[in-house]
Amino acid sequence: MARCPICDAAVEPRSANPSYPFCTARCKTIDLGKWLNEEYGIPVPDAELDDEDLDALAEAASKKSEDMRH
């Protein structure tokens, strides 16, 4: 039998449980809240940046920092 990813309780099959893969609607709502609060994320591989990209990022960060001081 499957286990709830939130509370680890046993989960009834999809045919008997509208909240599947969660054990209850409460656990389903908790999971949604975690996504909305950005507690979960989908890993993305780091992109290869060339020197021009790195220079542009550094310049943008510097400008933002300067703008915040004024």
* Residue predicted with more confidence, 68 or 1: 1
Over residues 6-42, the pLDDT tens digits come to 999 999 999 999 999 999 999 999 999 999 999 998 8
C-alpha span between 34 and 22 (Å, rounded): 14
pLDDT tops 70 at residue 49 = no
Cis preceding linkage at 18, omega within 30: no
- CATH code at 2-69: 3.30.50.10
Nearest CA to 8 among 25, 29, 22, 28?
22
pLDDT at 63: 81
Token pair listed for 55: 């220079």
Helices (H), the chain: 25-36, 51-69
Domain positions in the chain are: 2-69
